[in-house]
Each structure stands twice: as structure tokens, then as C-alpha cells.
Amino acid sequence: MSDAHLSERELIDGPEPVHLSDEPIRLSNHDPAADADTGARPFRRRRVALGVALAVALGGLGAFGTLGWRIAEQKDTRLDTPQSVAGLTRDDSEGARSTADYLRSGFAADIELDYSFGTVYRDPAGATDSPVLLFGGTALIWRPERDLDSLFGLMADETGKVAGLREVSAGRFGGVMKCGTTRGTEGFTVCGWADHGSAVMGMFPNRSVDDAAGLFRQIREAIQTRG
């Protein structure tokens, strides 16, 4: 290609040449001087606004990704009731099984479960005044803490609601675990845990909140599996 200026080239049997002026060609009616006066600030404002929106969107996606990962990890939960757990022995007597079934039925009526259970454990040394009553089940639970608080609310009796409810360590399975006490003449500690795959309550007569919480974590370690 020749380096000659386009206006200096001869066109044979063609249209008249287009003469290029020294003025720049405008592709729109936008005045470049306006950008010089404003420093192109409108464009930068749009860029900043889009950047903020993108950061918010990515932050939301990150939070959703974390929640999705947690749900996927916890949703396939299994619960078992072995013969012995945390130094306690399962009570299979008729009275204990009737009590456990009553608790299981009441729990299952308040929350839709894929699987539910109820059982009673006792100290094999013979102590009869400190049984552990467990009941709960498995399901896909979207908001574990909210549902667990609702379950504690359903534990209220004529003496009032579970008092002093506080969060305690949930152990290696995560989720949320809370304990409180009833105020009746036969008051006892109540603990519960919930994650995205299970919800379980425990009743601990004649045990402090700290003792019940520690025992409840041990029981969870023994009866819960995932995957």
C-alpha cells in the first residue's frame, strides 16, 4: 500500500475523491470539550457505581455459596440409638419405651421429619433419678436456629417457658446447640441441637446446664453420622 495521502491518489473511472479536512471527524454530537471541563466524571461515577454493585453481588454470591456448601454438608444426616452411649445404657423397658414414643410423637407432630425417634438412657450403675430422654429426627432444615427456638417454645408447660436459654458449644458437627431449664417443681435441664439435617432435644433431670450440655455433646458424637 502506498504511503501517499488518500486525497492525492487518482481514482480512475471512479467517484469523486473524498477530501479530508484538517478538522477531526465527529462520530456523534457529543462535545469533547465537555469531558475536558468535567474530567469525564459522569463516566467515572458510572464505573464506581457498577463496581459497588459488582462487589455487593459477589459478596452475596459468596454468602450463598457458603450457605449452600453448609447445607450440602449437613443435609444427609443419620441418627441411631445404640445400646450404650456416653456411659449410659438404653432403657428398653415398657415404661421407658412408652415415654419415648410419647415424646417422639409429640415432636414429629410439630416438625415435618423424614425420620423420628425417641429413647431413654440411664446410668447403668443404677441411678433412677437421672434418666436422659432423647427425641428428634432428620429432615432438610433451612433455618436451624429459628426452628430450634420454636421447639424450645413448644416445651413450655403450665409453669412457663424454658428459662435461661443460652447457646452452648455444638461440637464438631456444628449447627446450633442451646440449653435452658424448666421452672416446675420437678425442674430439669433441656438441651437441643439443630443443623441443616437434624433436630434433637434432650431432657436431663437433676443435671446442671453445664453438665447436661457436655453430656448432650457426647451423645451427639455417638448417635449422629453424615454422608
CATH number at residue 222: 3.40.1000
Asked if residue 139 and residue 119 are part of one domain, the reply reads yes
Asked if residue 185 and residue 114 are part of one domain, the reply reads yes
Asked if residue 188 and residue 118 are part of one domain, the reply reads yes
Strand partners of residue 90 = 121
Q: Decide if pLDDT at 81 tops 80.
A: yes
Residue range 135-145: mean pLDDT, rounded: 93
The answer to whether residue 23 sits within a structural domain is no
Ramachandran sector of residue 114 (left: φ over 0; alpha: ψ -120 to 50; beta: rest): alpha
More confident position, 125 or 97: 97
Calculate the dihedral angle through the C-alpha atoms of 154, 211, 177, 92, rounding to the nearest 10 degrees: -60
Residue range 97-113: mean pLDDT, rounded: 87
Taking the C-alpha atoms of residue 53 and residue 57, their distance in angstroms, rounded to an integer, is: 6
Which segments of 19-93 does DSSP mark as H helices, in order?
32-38, 41-74
Residue range 17-29: mean pLDDT, rounded: 41
The answer to whether residue 36 sits within a structural domain is yes
pLDDT at 182: 86
The answer to whether residue 2 sits within a structural domain is no
Instruction: Find the range with the poorest average confidence among 80-84, 91-95, 137-141, 154-158.
Output: 154-158
Residue numbers of the domain that contains 156: 77-226
In the numeric block, the cell 467515572 is attached to 44
Asked if residue 70 and residue 81 are part of one domain, the reply reads no
Say what percent of the chain tops pLDDT 90.
Answer: 47
Asked if residue 130 and residue 50 are part of one domain, the reply reads no
Q: At what angle do helices 94-110 and 144-154 cross, to 10 degrees?
A: 120
Cell of 129: 433419678
Asked if residue 221 and residue 132 are part of one domain, the reply reads yes
Q: Decide if pLDDT at 191 tops 60.
A: yes
The answer to whether residue 25 sits within a structural domain is no
More confident position, 32 or 103: 103
Which secondary structure element, helix H or strand E, spans residue 217, and what is its range?
helix 209-223
Asked if residue 88 and residue 68 are part of one domain, the reply reads no
Asked if residue 170 and residue 92 are part of one domain, the reply reads yes
pLDDT at 2: 40
The answer to whether residue 132 sits within a structural domain is yes
Asked if residue 151 and residue 56 are part of one domain, the reply reads no
Q: Decide if pLDDT at 88 tops 60.
A: yes
The answer to whether residue 86 sits within a structural domain is yes
Of 93, 66, 78, 71, nearest to 200 by C-alpha is 78
Global pTM value: 0.69
Asked if residue 116 and residue 45 are part of one domain, the reply reads no
Say what percent of the chain tops pLDDT 70.
Answer: 64
More confident position, 58 or 174: 174
Asked if residue 124 and residue 162 are part of one domain, the reply reads yes
DSSP 195-214: -SSEEEEEEEET--HHHHHH
In the numeric block, the cell 436456629 is attached to 145
Backbone φ and ψ of 64, nearest 5°: -65, -40
Sign of CA dihedral 168, 170, 174, 177: negative
* Number of domains observed in the structure of the chain: 2
Asked if residue 139 and residue 100 are part of one domain, the reply reads yes
User: Which of the listed residues 74, 92, 125 is the one where a domain comes to its end?
Assistant: 74
Q: Decide if pLDDT at 52 tops 60.
A: no
Average pLDDT, the chain: 76
CA angle 115, 117, 120 (to 5 degrees): 165
Residue range 99-107: mean pLDDT, rounded: 89
More confident position, 224 or 2: 224
